[in-house]
Amino acid sequence: MKKYALLVSTILLYGSAALAADLNLRSLDTDTRSAAPNSNSIMFRRNAEQYRQLTPDEKAEIERQREIARKQAEEYRRQQEAYMRRQAQLEAQRRAEEEAERQRREALKPITLYGGKLKIYALVNGEVITSSEMQSRINAFIVATGIPYNAQTKNMIINKVLQTAIDEKLKIQEAKKNGIRVSQKEIDTAVARFEKANNIPRGELRHLLAESKVSMKVWTTQIEAELAWQKLMRTKALSYAHVSESEITQAIDDVRKDMTVKKYMLSEIVINKKDAKDIYQLAEVLQQDPRFSLYAMQFSQSPSAANGGSLGWVAKGRLPAALENVFSKLKEGQVSKPVAYGNDYYIFKLEKIFHPDMDKNAELSRDGVRQFLQNKKLEDYSIKAIKDLRNRALIEKKL
């Protein structure tokens, strides 16, 4: 019984090996016997005699079949090795993706500043910005943007959130000076509108914010600041934002002239050198994260930040050569390394290239141009107004 089991095992072993290599068992048997013509085995002596009686052509055929079997076995071995390498690469990729996702989830977790102890971050015309408020604002920033809070982005997020908090204090203070108030009803309406736009059941926002360690009071203060500022800008910028017919005609003429030259659709992030200690970390993040406009909106110090860093179409030769030499070498969709120019660092993303000889020109409507110019004037006025407030304010940053 043991001999029978051993025989079956041997047959299965050789059979599976031959099958794996796609070999013929009969050819394998012939090859094995002919490989030992001087064997003392009766079976091998008999086959050695038979082998010697074969014609040269028959012997050549046996050698050819043997070579085919060898090549098949070698090819199978190579395929197995290639398969194992691919499996190892896929496994390494899977692990890397899992680790990246783990780090992303970890970086998106709510933070706690100073172990919950109260610290003062800044004074804005006597009003305090505390670590408790900053903690809520940073967590709100993480939730709203999905930008992770990690070693690469930490300082940028803190600086951005602190500046936003300072600006909101200034906006509310200036609105109150001008007799502008935002009612609780207006705030509640804005909150309800936000819930609806984000498919959040009515009244659930408070619970979601609490889960993310965001104070509802801090959240609604942000809403109050924006509503107050919008009211103030509407009362002060109406005459400033008027667009004349001659301005529209001039803008259309300028655009048509631009259509005769090569142009680049660009987005930018601009950070002053004194604030740019993390500029290379930001550039590294942007090589991996495709949300350039989101980062531009949050971190860029250029007026274009309000539009996600978009500069629109820029004609060749319009920007300084030192900058054009950077973005003109990019491919569509690529992000540049930081380049220093004047008092700032620039990071560009090349969206598209316009070739006047190949691309069709777009027709412009006067109404569209009027709306564009009006929005641009309002935007410029708002930016100038907040800069003036910063310059006049007594701001003391503690950390």
Does residue 24 surpass a pLDDT of 60?
no
Q: Are residues 76 and 34 in the same domain?
A: yes
Which residues, 6 or more positions from 135, have their beta carbon under 8 angstroms from its beta carbon? 111, 112, 113, 213
What are the backbone dihedrals phi and psi of residue 199, each rounded to the nearest 5 degrees, phi first? 55, 40
What is the rounded distance in angstroms from the CA atom of residue 276 to the CA atom of residue 269?
11
> Is residue 233 domain-shared with residue 132, that is, in the same domain?
yes
- pLDDT tens digits, 199-242: 888 888 888 888 888 889 988 998 999 999 989 988 887 777 78
B/e letters for 104-114, b = 16+ CB within 10 Å, e = fewer, are eeebbebeebe
Q: Is residue 275 part of a domain?
A: yes
Q: Are residues 95 and 161 in the same domain?
A: no
Q: How far apart are CA 389 and CA 395, in angstroms?
A: 10
Q: What is the pLDDT of residues 72-123, one digit of tens each?
A: 989 999 999 999 999 888 888 888 777 766 766 665 677 777 777 888 999 9
How far is it, in rounded angstroms, from Cα 349 to Cα 287? 10
Domain identity same for 126 and 170: yes
Give 14's pLDDT tier (boundaries 50, 70, 90): very low
Roughly what angle, to the nearest 10 degrees, separates helices 154-177 and 292-299? 50
State the DSSP code for 274.
G
Task: Please report whether residue 372 resides in a domain.
Answer: no
In a domain, 366, yes or no: no
- Domain annotation covers residue 378: no
Report d(CA 228, CA 219) in Å as an integer.
15
Which of 58-66's residues contact partners 24+ apart within 8 Å by CB, and which partners? Answer: 62/30, 62/31, 62/34, 65/27, 65/30, 65/31, 66/27, 66/31, 66/34
278 and 219 both lie in a single domain: no
Structurally, the chain folds into a number of domains equal to 3
Is 248 in contact with 192 (CB distance < 8 Å)?
A: no
| Whether 232 and 136 share a structural domain | yes
Percentage of the chain exceeding pLDDT 90: 26
**Per-residue pLDDT tens over the stretch 345-356:** 999 999 988 887
Residue 386 pLDDT more than 80?
yes
Q: Do residues 311 and 356 both lie within one domain?
A: yes
8 lies in the same domain as 58? yes
Mean pLDDT of 295-309: 84
Domain extent at residue 315: 260-360
Rounded to the nearest integer, the mean pLDDT of the chain is 81
Q: Helix or strand or coil: residue 340?
A: strand
Segment 134-159, tens digit of pLDDT = 999 999 888 878 888 888 888 888 98
Write out the H or E segment, with its range, that includes residue 114.
none
Q: Does the pLDDT of residue 334 top 50, yes or no?
A: yes
Cβ neighbors of 361 (< 8 A, separation 6 or more) are 256, 259
Q: Is the dihedral of CA 123, 124, 129, 134 positive or negative?
A: negative
Looking at the fold, whether 56 and 164 belong to one and the same domain comes out as: no
Which two structure tokens, joined as six digits, stand for 218? 């801090």
Residue 347 sits in a domain whose CATH number is 3.10.50.40
247 domain-assigned: no
